[in-house]
Amino acid sequence: MRNCVDVATDYESFPVWAPKEISESLRKQGFQYTPGNVKASRSDIDPNEVSYEGCSCVKQSCEVDCDCLRRFNPNYTKSANGKTTLIHIDDHVTTSNSPPPVYECNSMCKCGYQCLNRLVQNRLQRPILLFEGNKGVGAKTAAAIDRGEFVCEYAGEVLSDVEAAHRCQRLSADDMNYVIAVREHHHGGNMTCTYVDPCHRGNVGRWVNHSCDPNLVMVPVRADSEIPMLALFAKKNINAEEELSFHYGGLADEEISEQNVKRKQCLCGANNCKGFLPYDLSLFANVMTT
Ligand SMILES: [Zn+2]
Ligand SMILES: [Zn+2]
Ligand SMILES: [Zn+2]
């Protein structure tokens, strides 16, 4: 790519091309590219700890008799055109059905890196192009993507709820808020929340803008750690050079207060645009009690 720099350097299997002005501005901000989640300096949550048992399949790819697939059910399928897609993409798109949790083979598993049950952990599947638009920096796909295909993770520093609230509080009205809060309701009534901030250290997910009518959906995916990778999958077919977007409100639509002054205007241009970016009220509520 002429006049472009790969801001992912050697961390991804495919480049993240950015015009020189964007890469120069990232360098000035002191931004560090990391392909996956990292531990925040003031946090004891380590997203790289291995917490699950592996399977003993000494083969390229796990099949039906695999312990992982028996325990958690298969997640991915290869379509006739050779593309790997998420089996339960419909359930993740509609949110009215509760989709099964996604667990991939992990570093304790004996299977190969190309195992069908390893996808998100293998990172980018195609190059991404960064560009400067009316919403600031955005991300486009270099190649067409089929519905259900994995696109990229939203990775960065994993924060505690207290640290996430502190970081959001410190932002001024003009600052871009990158902190995302993802709530998961588990079987048995447990609820967990994962906070990821790619502002200072993060991956390409940082440049995927919000849209009220997005082409990606966020799915928590686990391999080694109980802390999920926040994986973005295509919820529709996407053309080459099309801008990538997801809904910042996360998996569930949060109740949002209309009068809060901190809300930013949404410029997604979709027919159903709500006019404002969503944000997680709990990040602000927590500050009051700490
Ligand atoms: Zn496997
Ligand atoms: Zn296996
Ligand atoms: Zn396995």
Task: Tell me the domains of the chain and their CATH numbers.
Answer: 4-249+264-289 (2.170.270.10)
Note the pLDDT of residue 281.
Answer: 57
Kindly report, residue by residue over 198-212, the tens digit of the pLDDT. 999 999 999 999 999
Asked whether the beta carbons of 242 and 70 are under 8 A apart, the reply is no
Give one word for 223, left, alpha or beta, with left for phi > 0 and alpha for psi -120 to 50: alpha
How many angstroms separate the alpha carbon of residue 222 from the centre of ligand 1? 13
Kindly report, residue by residue over 232-253, the tens digit of the pLDDT. 999 999 999 999 999 887 544 4
Note the pLDDT of residue 177.
Answer: 82
How many angstroms separate the alpha carbon of residue 108 from the centre of ligand 3? 8
How many angstroms separate the alpha carbon of residue 59 from the centre of ligand 2? 8
Handedness of CA 56, 58, 63, 64 (dihedral sign): negative
Q: What share of the chain is helix, strand, coil (3-state, %, to 5)?
A: 15, 25, 55
How many angstroms separate the alpha carbon of residue 114 from the centre of ligand 1? 8
Ligand 2 ion: nearby residues, β-carbon < 5 Å: 55, 57, 62, 66, 68, 111
Note the pLDDT of residue 255.
Answer: 47
Beta bridge partners of 78: 84
Strands (E), 79-186: 84-86, 102-103, 128-133, 136-141, 150-153, 156-159, 180-185
Residue type, 39: K
What is the rounded CA–CA span in Å between residue 17 and residue 11? 13
pTM of the model: 0.92
How many angstroms separate the alpha carbon of residue 277 from the centre of ligand 2? 41
Kindly report, residue by residue over 143-159, the tens digit of the pLDDT. 999 999 999 999 999 99
Note the pLDDT of residue 264.
Answer: 78
Kindly report, residue by residue over 256-279, the tens digit of the pLDDT. 444 444 677 888 999 989 888 876
User: Which ligand does the CA of 64 lie closest to?
Assistant: 2
Closest by Cα among 68, 89, 253, 280 to 194: 280
How many angstroms separate the alpha carbon of residue 22 from the centre of ligand 1? 38
Low-confidence ranges of the chain (pLDDT < 50): 251-261, 285-290
User: Which ligand does the CA of 66 lie closest to?
Assistant: 2
How many angstroms separate the alpha carbon of residue 102 from the centre of ligand 2? 15
User: Which ligand does the CA of 223 lie closest to?
Assistant: 3
Closest by Cα among 213, 197, 195, 193 to 205: 197
Note the pLDDT of residue 7.
Answer: 96
User: Which ligand does the CA of 109 lie closest to?
Assistant: 3
Asked whether the beta carbons of 193 and 160 are under 8 A apart, the reply is no
